[in-house]
Structures are given as C-alpha cells and as structure tokens.
Amino acid sequence: MPYKVKCFECGREVTDGLLDSCPTCGGLLNVEMDLSPLKGKTLKDIRKAPMGVWRYAPFLPVDQKKAVSLLEGGTPLYRCLGLGEKLGIKDLRVKYEGANPTGSFKDRGMTVGVSRAVELGCKVVGCASTGNTSASLAAYAAKAGLGCVVLLPSGKVALGKLAQAMFYGAKVVSIDGNFDEALDIVRRLAKEGHLYLLNSINPFRPEGQKTVAFEILDQLDMQVPDRIVLPVGNAANIWAVYKALTELRELGWIDRMPRLVGVQASGSNPIFRAFEEGKRDFQPVDHPETVATAIRIGNPASGRKALKAIYDTDGVAVEVTDEEIIAGQKLLGRTEGIGVEPASAASIAGVMKLRQSGEISADERIVCICTGNLLKDPDTVIKNSGEILRSKADIDAVIKIIAR
C-alpha cells in the first residue's frame, strides 16, 4: 500500500478501514502517503495530466482507475485587481471553489471518499452536514450507485444545499438539533454498522481536499504565496491545505510554507478563541450562531488539527461578524463578479480585517479560498441585495423607474 493510516494523537497504525477514530485513544486518524514514487519528479511530470483533482493522483490514497469522479477541481484562481485596490493589497487572488460540480470544495474530498467506500465494498454512505457535504455526498453516492443518508440541522441548511441533497436521492433526515449533535448521531450510526461515514473525520476526505492547495501552487507556477486564507467550520479543510503544503515541501517542490489564516464567524469561534489564548486545544461553543450556516459549528471535530496547521505555519486565526461577512460577500461580487456563499466570504472579510489591523501588509501575495457558490444560499442573497423595482407593463413607467 502506498500509504498508512495512523492516529493523529498517539501515532498507532490503524488497518481496519471502517474505523474513523483510533481504537486505543479515540484520536482522529490521518493518512500518511508514501511519496517516494514522486522523488526526483517535478511539477512538469504531473502537468501532463489534465487539470483537476486527479492530476494529483500520486498524492492520493485510492486507485485513480477506479475513481468515482464528476471531474471535480480545476477551479479558477482569479487575480482580483479591483478588490485588491479596495483592500490595499497589491496581489490578491481568489480560488473559486464554487465552480466545482456540486458548487463547493467538498467535491474534492468526496471523489476520494466515495471511491474509498466503493473499494471497501460499502453499500450505504452517510454524513452529518451544514449542507454542502450532504449535497456533494448525495451526488457522488448517486454516481456510484450507493445508498445515502444525510443528517441536517433542522431549519439551518441553506436552500440550495437542501435542494441538492433531496434531488440526488439521499434520505434526508432533519435533526432537531445543531450540526454537532447530528455528527454525534451519525458517528454512532457508523459505529453500529448502519453506514460508512463520510464526514471529514474520515481521513480519506482531507486527502482529496489537499488538491486545492496543489492547484493553487500549480496555478502560481510553484511561487509560494505569503498567505492562504480560508473559512474554518469543522476544521478539516485547513488541515488538508496544511498537509498538502507539507508534502510539497517534503518533495522540495516548494521551499517555504505560506502562512495559513483560519477565519471563523464570531458566533461560532472556538478555534479563534483557542488561538487568542495560545492553546493547542479548544473549548466548544455551546450555541453556535451565524449567517454563514456552513460554518455554524461549535465543536469542530478536526479542531486540534486546525490549530496545529495554524501554529506550524506561523499563521493566525481571526473572527469576523455577520455584518463583516455580508459586506465582504457584496464587495467581492460587486467589484469582481465573483459570487460566493457567506461562509466563503468570511475569508474576504478576514483579509479586510487583518489588513486594517496591519497584520497583513500591502505588498503580500494573498490567496483567499472561497469555498462555495453564491446560489447555495439564495435567501441570504435576496435579503441583503436591495429591492426589486416594480413597474406597470408600460415603457414610460419603466423609463421613470430606472431614471430614479
């Protein structure tokens, strides 16, 4: 096998593919790839394959030939001159993950995770989700012909995401509780053998999610940005980005690490709080609340991994208010034509804040990962985008209205 699965906490090797935590200490699991087949190779060798997640197959722990794929990845990295000027940053870029098949970065992890489920012979997959994971899993399960169960926090999932999960044929269970409670239940369902768990505590999911960082570096011809900024919810994605960067450094393809910036909503900010106190562990937030429902999570399963990623890259965690998130979302849309959902706009809001405080300087090269598409959450968009102008069906009436 070109990889080992080991406990993140105690280092024990785990060979039972159905486990999602360490049988000794209960810690999270982590895939350790054997990168020796890549030694002596360069980016050029990898680039022979088309853009997308599977260009980076040698970094992934499943066989590409058997991959369940919807051609995920290969998303644009926009140079944002107008937004950069507004924020006072010379080189600002946005990695637009809303361009993935189901409209979020989750597809990168799901192509690998669902391929793993098929490899293990699982028949039913499941997750708890604030929305995007369920939309993605439902689509990949449909493609693979697997049963799919998703547990969603009642009333707190954006409309587009709910529509997707229902549309692709998942069994959608609305839980009278928050994401953290739904995750507890689905972990127990997995333990009792009802389904194969495809939340991001499944160590194969972050492996696919690593590819967003590979792509950013690939698109920048391996010139390392000063910072990569991304929203933090259940906290696996920042870990995945960190892991990708450490692998590139191990191979000598990059010679330094970008600093990672984790952005949380101030109503659900356990990682930010731990960072402020200089701690490597965090206290859960009991009643998380934010307009960015995707990251409305009080007890992030991969929180300890996220803190390691931040500290090891000399990065920072920052919190932003709902007002700052909506302002960032609008500014990105109206200066660059890029539409992202509120959680994704947290990365823009985080950059605004850190530039204002002087933590980020004008001459840095910054990459914001914008994780999900605007249309995931049409209700929030309509609420915050001003009024529709109403008119009689009469040209003179329309002329009067648009002249106002």
| Sites for ligand F0G among residues 216-235 (CB under 6 A) | 231-235
CA 119, CA 185: separation in Å to the nearest integer? 25
131, 208, 267, 303: residue in contact with ligand F0G (rule CB under 6 A): 131
The least CB distance from residue 315 to ligand F0G, in Å, is 14
Nearer to ligand F0G, 104 or 380 (CB): 104
CA 234, CA 296: separation in Å to the nearest integer? 9
Site string for ligand F0G, 29-48 (x = CB under 6 A): --------------------
The least CB distance from residue 168 to ligand F0G, in Å, is 14
CA 92, CA 368: separation in Å to the nearest integer? 8
Name residue, tokens 């999570």. Answer: 297
75, 100, 202, 237: residue in contact with ligand F0G (rule CB under 6 A): 237
Count, residues near ligand F0G per rule CB under 6 A: 22
CA 202, CA 72: separation in Å to the nearest integer? 19
Please tell me whether residue 373 binds ligand F0G under the rule CB under 6 A.
Answer: no
Q: How far is CA 235 from CA 43, 135, 172, 191, 317, in A?
A: 28, 18, 24, 22, 12
AA letter at 227: R
CA 298, CA 283: separation in Å to the nearest integer? 9
317, 371, 377, 381: residue in contact with ligand F0G (rule CB under 6 A): 371
AA letter at 393: A
Nearer to ligand F0G, 156 or 253 (CB): 156
CA 290, CA 282: separation in Å to the nearest integer? 19
CA atoms within 13 A on the CB side of 8: 23
H-helix or E-strand containing 128?
A: strand 124-128
The least CB distance from residue 49 to ligand F0G, in Å, is 26
Nearer to ligand F0G, 225 or 262 (CB): 262
Site string for ligand F0G, 91-130 (x = CB under 6 A): -------------x-x----------------------xx
Nearer to ligand F0G, 38 or 164 (CB): 164
CA 196, CA 187: separation in Å to the nearest integer? 9
Residue 354: burial class (beta carbons within 10 Å; 0-12, 13-18, 19+): buried
Residue 40 makes CB contacts below 8 A (sequence gap 6+) with: none
Instruction: Please answer whether residues 300 and 234 qualify as being in contact, where contact means their C-beta atoms are separated by less than 8 angstroms.
Output: yes
236, 274, 310, 354: residue in contact with ligand F0G (rule CB under 6 A): 236
Nearer to ligand F0G, 341 or 364 (CB): 341
CA 61, CA 25: separation in Å to the nearest integer? 24
Q: What is the dihedral of CA 68, 17, 196, 73, to 10 degrees?
A: -30
Instruction: Please answer whether residues 247 and 33 qualify as being in contact, where contact means their C-beta atoms are separated by less than 8 angstroms.
Output: yes
The least CB distance from residue 54 to ligand F0G, in Å, is 21
Helix, strand, or coil (residue 228)? strand
Site string for ligand F0G, 330-349 (x = CB under 6 A): -----------x-xx-----
Nearer to ligand F0G, 22 or 236 (CB): 236
| Sites for ligand F0G among residues 256-315 (CB under 6 A) | 294-295
The least CB distance from residue 203 to ligand F0G, in Å, is 13
The least CB distance from residue 110 to ligand F0G, in Å, is 10
Binding segment toward ligand F0G, per CB under 6 A, in 5-13, 131-139, 219-227, 395-403: 131-139
Residues that bind ligand F0G (CB under 6 A): 104, 106, 129-133, 200, 231-237, 294-295, 341, 343-344, 371-372
